[in-house]
Structure 1
Amino acid sequence: MLDLNITLLFQLVNFFIAIFVLNILLIRPIRDIIKKRNGVMDNLAGEADNFESQAAERLASYEAELARARQDAGLAREEGRNAGLTEQQGIVGEAQKSARDILADTRRNLREQADATLNELRNQVGEYSSRLADRLIKS
């Protein structure tokens, strides 16, 4: 059975002194270290969140710039395509005009040659008919 005597009182006093000393030497410093460590961890977590939000903002900005660059490239491609079509139409128009001019010159030259040949043949017909008439009369 348990005896309640003075040794129990000494043991209780000894226990409370040990708790008090341990509290001063171990528990408080460990609590302070844990608090500091938690503070540092909270700061690091805040910085990590800050970096993460900055990274998300930069990513969104990058994606917006990329979309804008794609849109600008599409517009530039369309402008280039339109400029190419315009230039192509101009070149084709000039080529058609040149072909029409060449065709008109060729037709004009052929008409001139045909007229010259026809006039020459008419002159020769008159000459041949007079020769033929002279031969017929002489014969």
Structure 2
Amino acid sequence: MLDLNITLLFQLANFFIALFVLNLLLIRPVREIIKKRNGIMDGMAAEADAFNAEATEKLNAYEAELARARQQAGLAREEGRQSGLNEQQDIVGEAQQSARQLLAENRSALRGQAEAALNELRNGISDFSARLGNRLLGNS
């Protein structure tokens, strides 16, 4: 049977003293270290989350800027294309106007030359018919 005597009280006191000393020397410092590490890990996790959020925000801003730049490039390309078409139409219009003017000048010059040649032929016909009449009549 269990003998309850003074040694049990000494062993129990010895156990609680050992527990108190271990608590002071080992358990409390380990708990403090664990709390500090948990705090550091929480801080690092929060910092990592903040970094991820910032990276996501920068990526979204970059994508938005890239989309805006693409849109502006498309608008600039379309404006350039339209400007080129307008310039092309202006150049073609000027060339057609110049061609019409040149054609009108050439037609006018040809009419003048044709009228001059016709007048010359008309003037030459009377002389030619007089010479022909003289030859036919024998007045050579």
Query: What is the TM-score normalised by the length of structure 1?
Result: 0.92
Aligned-pair distance for 1:99?
1.1
The residue that corresponds to 1:41 in the other structure is 41
- Counterpart check, 1:93 vs 2:93: yes
Aligned-pair distance for 1:19?
0.9
The residue that corresponds to 2:22 in the other structure is 22
C-alpha offsets along residues 21-56 of structure 1, whole Å, 9 cap, x if unaligned? 000000000101111111111111111111111111
The residue that corresponds to 1:75 in the other structure is 75
Aligned-pair distance for 1:2?
4.2
The residue that corresponds to 1:134 in the other structure is 134
The residue that corresponds to 2:51 in the other structure is 51
Aligned equivalents of 1:57 and 1:127: distance in 2? 103
Aligned-pair distance for 1:7?
2.7
The residue that corresponds to 1:105 in the other structure is 105
The residue that corresponds to 2:64 in the other structure is 64
RCO (CA 8 Å, sep 6+): is it higher in 1 or 2?
Answer: 2
Aligned equivalents of 1:94 and 1:108: distance in 2? 21
SS in 2 for 1:117: helix
Aligned-pair distance for 1:134?
2.1
Aligned-pair distance for 1:68?
0.9
Aligned equivalents of 2:81 and 2:3: distance in 1? 107
Q: Which amino acid aligns with 2:93?
A: G
C-alpha offsets along residues 71-126 of structure 1, whole Å, 9 cap, x if unaligned? 11111111111100000000000111111111111111111111111111111111
Structure 1 vs Structure 2: percent identity of aligned residues?
A: 69
Q: What is the aligned residue count?
A: 139
List, as ranges, runs of 4+ consecutive aligned residues in structure 1 with deviation greater than 4 Å: none
Structure 1 gaps of 5+ residues are none
SS in 2 for 1:4: coil
Aligned equivalents of 1:55 and 1:87: distance in 2? 46
Q: Which shifted more, 81-90 or 59-68?
A: 59-68
Query: What is the TM-score normalised by the length of structure 2?
Result: 0.91
Aligned equivalents of 1:134 and 1:39: distance in 2? 138
Q: CA RMSD in A?
A: 1.4
